Structure 1
Amino acid sequence: MSEADAIERVEKPVTAAQIRSELSELGVEAGDTVLVHASLSSLGWVSGGPQAVVEALQATVTESGTLLMPAHTGQFTDPADWENPPVPGDWVETIRETRPPFRPEATPSRGVGTIAETFRSYPDVSRSGHPIYSFSAWGSESDRVLEDHTLDYGLGPDSPLGGIYERGGSVLCLGTGHGTNTSLHLAEYLAAIDAQERTRHAPILQEGTRVEVEYRDIELDVSDFTELGAAFEAAVGCETGTVGAAETKLVDQQALVDFAVEWLESHRR
């Protein structure tokens, strides 16, 4: 979506104060633990862009709460598996050997949107150390939610997603749908479904040296997440509203994951 399209979506600029007010109306409160998936373009034209959105979210949750966003880095997956677009086969080994190692404090995220990438670089925001599935966090529980992020099964129970679940947190889909709702991946790990396991590798920095680490994971599948999310909303429900021009959902993460585990066990073979 172009900037002109964003202007056309709203009658007046969307401001940080407006975002705060509409988040509060939706049910986001000081002290909450909230995982945010956000699309800047869906909000319409925001005065101050992603910076205004990040600061409105922080002001709403406050330092007594905890704000998280994905900081994933798909550039560290195996280039032989890349599809959108693929790279020439004779590039694969060069990419594997020459890409810099993942560095939590410096490596940019990829594919998670400008709001999440802006948040990642903010003062007092911490980041977990997983080379593919890291999360950024700010607030009272940020370090504790991030500290036990294991290499194996990076979106499973021993990840920040599991930490949000344990704390009774929420998922805020700010102009996004369930197709990108990472908490549904937690359900994939917990459900008794036939998920293929793989061993993967990624470069990280250890004591100043580039090291290829090995970790285990399952084949994740988002193809039915939109259907799953619609079923959850019909059966359980969530808070819905509008922030700027964006259709927005505030979802109880425990309820979503518990529902998704049963749904996956019934619908996936």
Structure 2
Amino acid sequence: MTEASIIRQSAMPRTRESLAADLRTLGVRAGETLLVHSSLKALGWVNGAETAVIQALCDVITPAGTLVMPAMSADLTDPVHWGAPPIPQAWHEPVRQSMPAFDPKRTPTRGMGRIAELFRTWPGVSRSSHPASSLAAWGTQASAILRDQPLEDPFGENSPLARLYDLQARVLLLGVTFESCTVLHLAERRTWPHQALIQEGAPLMVDGERRWVRYETPILRVDLLEDAGRHLVETGIAQSGIVGSARSYLLPVREAVDATVARWRGME
């Protein structure tokens, strides 16, 4: 979608102030912990683009709250598994040997959208240590949420997602579908704690040196998330509203995870 088409489809410009008003109407509260997945273009034409969106979110939750976004970099993985796009087999080892090491300050996100990518560099934002599945956070609970993300199980019981569950955080899907709802992977890990594993790898700094580190991690199922999302909407756990031009959803992490675990266990 081009910027011109976004302008044509927008009744009026979206602003920091109008987006903040929409977020409050949806139910976002001052002082809460909020994990946000987002699409800038879904919001309509925003004056200030991603900068204005982040400002609006910070205005609403205030410095007493905590804002969290995905900072995932799926290209810092073993190229043998790449499919979007794949690379020739002969490239695999040269890519492993030359891939820059993960750096929380410098490694860009991949496929997370413009809002999440800017948030990664926002003043006061910290990032967790996982090379492929990190989160970024700003606010009072940032350090507690991001600490010690396990390399082998980034979305399991000792992960930032589990800490969001414990903190009774909420998720805001800002113009994106439930396929982007990362906390549902915590429900997946709790439903099937013995999922099949895949051999992965990433370039990490170890004792001051770049090394290719291999590890095993669960194979997650994105195909389950949309069905789980429909169930959360139908049961009223996920609230729906419009922010800017975007259909958006607000849902509590604890209730969403518990309901999804119950649903998936009932389907076995």
TM-score range, shorter chain: over 0.9
Correspondence for 1:254: 254
Secondary structure of 1:75's partner? coil
* 1:135-157 Cα deviation digits (max 9, x unpaired): 00000110111013121201112
Q: What amino acid sits opposite 1:237 in the alignment?
A: I
* 1:53-109 Cα deviation digits (max 9, x unpaired): 011111111111000000001011111111111111111111111111000011001
- In the alignment, is residue 263 of structure 1 matched against residue 259 of structure 2? no
Which residues of 2 match residues 205-224 of structure 1 at below 5 A?
A: 205-224=205-224
Contact 1:74/1:110 (<8 A) preserved: yes
Q: CA deviation at 1:208?
A: 2.9
Secondary structure of 2:264's partner? helix
Q: CA deviation at 1:6?
A: 1.2
Contact 1:156/1:190 (<8 A) preserved: yes
Correspondence for 1:244: 244
- In the alignment, is residue 122 of structure 1 matched against residue 134 of structure 2? no
Cα distance change of structure 1 residues 8 and 157 upon mapping to structure 2, 3 Å threshold: farther
Correspondence for 1:53: 53
> Where in structure 1 are there 5+ consecutive unaligned residues?
none
Cα distance change of structure 1 residues 194 and 60 upon mapping to structure 2, 3 Å threshold: same
- C-alpha distance in 2, partners of 1:192/1:81? 22
Correspondence for 1:227: 227
- C-alpha distance in 2, partners of 1:238/1:149? 27
RMSD: 1.3
TM-score with structure 2 setting the length: 0.96
- In the alignment, is residue 146 of structure 1 matched against residue 133 of structure 2? no
Percentage of matched positions with identical amino acids: 38
Q: CA deviation at 1:194?
A: 6.0
Secondary structure of 1:259's partner? helix
Q: CA deviation at 1:198?
A: 2.6
Q: What amino acid sits opposite 1:94 in the alignment?
A: P
TM-score with structure 1 setting the length: 0.96
- C-alpha distance in 2, partners of 1:106/1:246? 30
Correspondence for 2:136: 136
Which residues of 2 match residues 20-59 of structure 1 at below 5 A?
A: 20-59=20-59
- C-alpha distance in 2, partners of 1:55/1:206? 36
Q: What amino acid sits opposite 2:220 in the alignment?
A: L
Q: CA deviation at 1:217?
A: 1.2
Q: CA deviation at 1:224?
A: 2.2
- In the alignment, is residue 158 of structure 1 matched against residue 154 of structure 2? no
- C-alpha distance in 2, partners of 1:87/1:104? 25
Contact 2:237/2:252 (<8 A) preserved: no
> Where in structure 2 are there 5+ consecutive unaligned residues?
none
- C-alpha distance in 2, partners of 1:120/1:192? 31
